[in-house]
Chain A
Amino acid sequence: MSFTFNQDDLNKIKELKTRYPSPDALCLPCLWMAQTKEGYISIDAIDAISEQIGLAPMQIYGVVTFYTMFHLQKPDRLQVDVCKTLSCKLCGSDEILKHLKSKDVYVNHVECLGSCGTAPMMQIKDKNYENLTNEKVDAILEELL
């Protein structure tokens, strides 16, 4: 198995276990730990999580595929999450999306990221970029690429 949790991770999992009535509840925290570590969730990581929390690998795999925030492949380009829900849509996320697709980035169309007051918005590496216009997107990407 190429993926292993280190001692810090294991301690953290142990601490988390005390918070919930069933270890199944640790599925999402463990997946986040794995994704933060490697940038994506490998099948090995799923097996390692399964070992820790006792949920079958297939069930964890189902959770990974359910959420747009988890990735099963290592992203080869800069990943941009664009909100596809109502407020952003009304404030012009379609145009932002179209503009982003012409750039050399991996665009992920995701569910609401909770920043409706500052729509349209996108998220790159856990950082929110808000009140977007095409020009703003250009400036942000120039800085990051």
Chain B
Amino acid sequence: MSEICEVIVDGEIHEAKEGSLLIDLLIEEGVKIPYFCYHESLGADGNCRMCMVGIKGEKRPQIACDTLIKKDMEVFSNTDVIKKVRTDILELELLNHPVDCPICDQAGECSLQDFYMDYGLHESKVEIEDKVKNSKHVDLGSSVVLDQERCVLCARCTRFTTEITHTNELGIVGRGDSAKVTTMPGRELSNPYAMNVVDLCPVGALTSKDFRFSQRVWLLETHNSICHGCAKGCNIYIDHNKLKYKDDVIYRFRPRKNLEVNGHFICDEGRLSYKDVQENRQEFSTFNHIEVEQDIAISKFKNFLEQHHKNIHILIDANLYTEEIEAILEFAKSIKAEVFSPLEVYTDEGFADDMLKCSNRASNYKTIENLNISTENPNNSELIINFNHPQNFESLMQIDFCTHKSDTNSLVFAIAAFTENEGSLTNVDGITQQTQKAVKKNNPQPSIIEWLTRIDL
């Protein structure tokens, strides 16, 4: 069955595996095809009927999501008949839809909106008063809000809780016009991956309580990155925006598809971790909590180094990018310092599960291991230079490089967070991935590499 065969789509020849889903081929080849209920992670359900295509030899149009590829199949996706069929089905999908796009958070990334522009553009035959009214903001729990009127009943969310998380919180109740998505009375949507239903929802029915009403999606700038919540290294999009006269702010993390690492999803804790990245940041170099100029900070740094010649210990955070870790090792060699990265502090057994969450909360600990950096605690330190490691150890003198405010009375250099910098990380399975620099702050903090160049011993 898995032989490669030729399929003709709109007169063009494509190659595909025999027995694979036709819709996968169409999506992959960029053939315009509308669909709501199909999702790569959930498979075919065949309930929305939007993905109709013509197939030579078949009497009626067929749904592409439930059609298996056969040898010498000939598919038509843009004939007049198919366009008419899609328009008619779309009209049914929109029958009870409130068309409240101006106040809908999904506007701009809504399948229904896109398909209406492609296939709809019809006048509604239903008066607004005749549309079925439903609840507009049901708080399902786990920061997910449901608008039952906007729902097209594609059942992606219910299939997610049934097939992916196996928690079965969501279901469709009622029948016909009164059918709607909901939870059991008195029960909540509650699982560590619940907010993925917001991304799965093709329309504005499920929105994130955390993100809704905060930004219009077309204003957001998107960059590829890697979640720093644990060693799994889930691929994410960072959606951020710099408003006029304001600073560049991250509004949300979204999962980015990578079948090798995280599939299509991320955990809620990782998704909401964008807040921790931005809050309570170290914004200036300080000494004993008092702000100091960059030049003074650097001269103090050199001063401290001159005062101490032995037992200089360097601590490395296992969340730093590989490039940064290598630069620190180089620097350590030049000042004859010993390097440590105690990893025990990152272990969190309670966080782990068998989906994506990993008990090691350091996103680049594999690199620490690969570079043979000591994971012991430093002992008898005279001077500790701490590159953002969360632990503090006893020493006569300490210099910190911090992304977030620290309460030590030491010399502190503010450094860029992972979102303001780029580099590579190696995840728990040994896969090395690259991030993009996303956020450009008004008052950008230098990265560790930039600091080390400026200090230039």
Contacts and interface: CB of A to CB of B under 8 A. Distances in A.
- Of B162, B169, B172, most A-chain CB atoms within 10 Å: B172
Contacts of B186: 43
A38 B174 CA distance: 22
Nearest to A64: B173
B162 to A, nearest CB: 7
A58 B174 contact: no
A23 interface: no
A58 B175 contact: no
Interface in B82-111: none
Give chain A's interface residue range (CB within 8 Å of chain B).
Answer: 10 to 19
B184 A59 contact: no
Give chain B's interface residue range (CB within 8 Å of chain A).
Answer: 10 to 19
Nearest to B169: A58
Interface string A6-26: 000000000000000000000
Contact of B174 (A46, A56, A59, A66): A66
Interface in B172-186: 172-175, 183-186
Given A43-B184, A43-B186, A58-B184, A65 B173 contact: yes
Interface in A58-86: 58-59, 61-62, 65-66
Interface in B185-202: 185-186
B294 interface: no
A92 interface: no
A122 B266 CA distance: 53
Contacts of A56: 162, 168, 171
A16 B374 CA distance: 64
A65 B185 contact: no
A39 interface: no
- Of B170, B171, B185, most A-chain CB atoms within 10 Å: B171
B344 to A, nearest CB: 40
Contacts of B185: 43
Given A43-B185, A56-B162, A57-B184, A62 B168 contact: no
Nearest to A67: B175
B372 to A, nearest CB: 49
A65 B172 CA distance: 9
A111 to B, nearest CB: 10
Given A58-B183, A58-B184, A61-B184, A66 B175 contact: yes
Contacts of B169: 58
A61 B173 contact: yes
Contacts of B172: 62
B376 to A, nearest CB: 49
A46 B439 CA distance: 50
Nearest to B161: A58
Nearest to A65: B173
A27 to B, nearest CB: 13
B7 to A, nearest CB: 36
Nearest to B172: A62
A61 B171 contact: yes
A25 B271 CA distance: 39
A134 B186 CA distance: 42
B336 to A, nearest CB: 63
Given A43-B185, A43-B186, A59 B171 contact: yes
Contacts of A57: 168, 184
Contacts of A58: 168-171, 183-184
Interface string A76-101: 00000000000000000000000000
Nearest to B186: A43
Contacts of B171: 56, 58-59, 61-62
A59 B166 CA distance: 12
A59 B172 CA distance: 8
Interface in B247-293: none
Contacts of A46: 184
A62 B174 CA distance: 7
Interface in B152-174: 162, 168-174
A43 B184 CA distance: 8
Contacts of B184: 43, 46, 57-58, 61
A62 B184 CA distance: 9
Contacts of A59: 162, 168, 171
A51 to B, nearest CB: 14
Nearest to A55: B168
- Of A46, A56, A58, A59, most B-chain CB atoms within 10 Å: A58
- Of A46, A57, A62, most B-chain CB atoms within 10 Å: A62
Interface of B: 162, 168-175, 183-186
Q: Lowest 4 A-B CB distances belong to which pairs?
A: A56-B168, A58-B171, A65-B173, A62-B171
Interface of A: 43, 46, 56-59, 61-62, 65-66
11 contacts: A43-B184, A56-B162, A57-B184, A58-B171, A58-B184, A59-B168, A61-B184, A65-B175, A66-B173, A66-B174, A66-B175
Given A65-B173, A65-B174, 10 more contacts: A56-B168, A56-B171, A58-B169, A58-B170, A58-B183, A58-B184, A59-B168, A61-B171, A62-B172, A66-B173
